Amino acid sequence: MIKSLSTEDTLENSGLTEEEQLLFSNARPKAYEPYPIKAVEDFANWCRANSLWILAFGTGCGAIELRPLMTARFDASRFGMAGRPTPRQSSVFIIGGYASVKTLKRIIRSYEQMQGPKFVIALGICPINGGMYFDSYNTINRFDQYIPVDLYITGCMPRPEVLVAGLMELQNKIKAGECDGANRYVENFDWYKTNQKKVIKKWDMPDYNW
Amino acid sequence: MIDYSVGDWIGKIGNFWLTLLVVLTYGLFMGAIIDRTIAKVQGRIGIPYSQPFINVLKNFFKRTAISHGVMFYLAPVFRLAGGIGTLAFIPVIYGSETFSNFSMSGDLFLVIYFMFFGQLGMALGAGESGHPYATIGIARGLSQMTAYEVPFALAVISIVIQYDTLSITEIVAAQQGGWQNWTVITNWVATLAAMLAFLGMAGYSPFDVHLAPQEIPIGPPTEFHSSYLSLMQLNRALFGATKLILFMNLFFGGATGLLELMLKTWMIYMVAIIIGVAFPRFRVDQTIRFFFKIPTLIGIMSIIYVQMVLTS
């Protein structure tokens, strides 16, 4: 791959060294249109809603609320939910509580590696306005400035029942075709990137993690 | 060999597509049955019966898919070709023209070779994905495969000597006429070796170190997603059912109807499940030592048993 100058179609990848730039793609992500036939898109959405694979990445204290979902008491697999250990195969990213700047970098990498359509749930009060960490020096206050969020579940901490209710609400939204976070991320890509680079000082990864 | 006309070949290929569809549907459905059985043990309800089908469709409907190279594209194709190729030479239902597939004399050899094919394609594809966990998973998976193939091959040699044929149809034919004629009764030593090898093939604990979701995130398929994954899920269902049908044909008297087939394959699968829910995971060196010790010895004993007791 030949390194190209920053134009409208390619990314700069200026955080990488010359050598590393040859190893990473500098293509821009693209927005995707729904299927032209509405019945097909509705059926696809129904499949997506009934097979939510959750990325097993606990990003904060709220991750502890994810574990009980798979136990006998809550049994989220009844609704087609399952944990996936790799971002490539997952479709739901649950931000479990506060996101520190250090974690945000990992969240961005994981989110960009997920294949669309992908959905983000912000769990707890911290991703909404910072919660009890509102004046912390290294915690993100408004999470949706960095990654598009499809559904908020507030509380500190929300119990697993609320999480299951939230996931079912997400299913309804997907079935209605309202969850287009992946497209919003692509359409406002530069705005999201500017915000991300404002807080992440040491940007040593490609601009988009293909 | 009988001379087939063009019309016969078209008919046979049409029948094979039907068999493929039936076995694929049954394989996906059985995934749900097994998952629900495990869920019942754990006091849960488990996934709906339609879940494996929805999962395949969902992955197919993903909007984006990225590639890591040519082999990455080809790996799921190779894998599915391995599954379909294995099924093509196994008679699914004994005495049925529709479900006899391309069974011929010597198909047992071909089937054993075909079982390797998908795994090797997968190894190349996962290697090109460039993920370190995929490489570790491949190294573990291939060494485990080398280990369990030894007792399995010995068991197959044993029953080939016993029935004096390499045709799966003839092996099934020799076991007809009641349960006392099944290989599991007449040559229980070979069956024991093969069932121990089956535990390694099935990929449940204690022999699932090559997948190991908690330590090397699901191993070889780590980087596979979207339609690649959907193809691999189809193969998982197809190949899983095919292996069970092969074991049923070789050791448990085959099946003369679909219902008998479902019941027998489910019971063979339950052996792996029961052991899987009861035992923790072996390390890869423990796995290989285990397979090269007890099952291999039982396999050698089965050949001696056939030579000294059955054919003398």
Query: Is residue B161 within 8 Å of B306, Cβ to Cβ?
Result: yes
- Which residues have C-beta within 8 Å of that of residue A205, sequence separation ≥ 6? A15, A16, A105, A109
* B204 CA: distance to closest CA in chain A (Å): 17
Of A75, A89, A210, the CB nearest to B229: A89
Per-residue pLDDT at B117: 81
Whether residue B27 lies inside any domain: the answer is: yes
Rounded to an integer, the average pLDDT of B66-74 is 84
Mean pLDDT of B155-167: 89
Confidence of residue A25 (pLDDT cuts 50, 70, 90): confident
| Ranges of each domain in chain A | 18-199
B66 and A210 in contact by Cβ < 8 A?
A: yes
Interchain CB contact of A78 with B (< 8 Å): yes
Q: Alpha-carbon distance B292 to A188, whole Å?
A: 58
pLDDT for the residue B294: 92
pLDDT at B152: 92
Q: Which fold has domain A18-199?
A: Rossmann fold (3.40.50)
Q: List chain A residues with CB under 8 Å of B223.
A: 86, 88
pLDDT digits (tens, 9 = 90+) for B137-150: 888 888 888 899 99
Torsion of CA B73, B79, B80, B84, to 10 degrees: 150
* Model pLDDT, residue A169: 93
Q: Which residue in the set B44, B217, B226 is minimally distant from A72, CB to CB?
A: B44
Domain interval for residue B283: 6-310
Chain A residues inside the 8 Å CB shell of B62: 115-117
Least confident of A3-7, A196-200, B237-241: A3-7
Say whether residue A39 is in contact with chain B using an 8 A CB cutoff.
no
pLDDT band at B1, cuts 50/70/90?
low
Count the domains in chain B.
1
Helix, strand, coil tally for chain B in percent (to 5): 75, 0, 25
Evaluate if residue B108 carries a pLDDT over 60: yes
Element (H, E) at A174: helix A160-175
Nearest partner of B243 among B202, B285, B292, B279, judged by Cα: B202
Note the pLDDT of residue A43.
92
pLDDT digits (tens, 9 = 90+) for B181-219: 888 888 899 999 999 999 888 878 788 888 777 777 777
Residue-level pLDDT at A20: 84
- B-chain residue closest to A24, CA distance: B68
The per-residue pLDDT for A2 is: 41
CA distance B70 to chain A (A): 16
pTM above 0.90, yes or no: no
What is the residue-averaged pLDDT of chain B?
Answer: 86
Q: Determine if the peptide bond prior to A114 is cis (ω within 30°).
A: no
* pLDDT for B312: 66
Report yes or no on B1 lying in a domain.
no
The predicted pLDDT at position B136 comes to: 87
The average pLDDT across B96-111 equals 81
Judged by CB atoms closer than 8 Å, whether chains meet at A116 and B43 is answered as: no
pLDDT(A13) > 90: no
Q: Is residue B3 very low, low, confident or very high in pLDDT (cuts 50, 70, 90)?
A: low
Nearest CA in chain B to A51: B55
Q: Is the pLDDT score of A5 beyond 50?
A: no
**Distance in Å, alpha carbon of B113 to nearest chain A alpha carbon:** 31
Q: Is residue B274 part of a domain?
A: yes
**Chain B residues close to A48, C-beta within 8 Å:** 58, 61
pLDDT band at A7 (very low <50, low <70, confident <90, very high): low
Give dist(CA A76, CA B241) in Å, integer. Answer: 27
Tell which residue, A205, A142, A151, A194, has the closest CA to residue A176. A151
The percent of residues above 90 in pLDDT, for chain B, comes to 20
Reduced to 3 states (helix: H, G, I; strand: E, B; else coil), residue B146 is helix
ipTM confidence score: 0.88
Q: Per-residue pLDDT averaged across A44-65, rounded?
A: 88
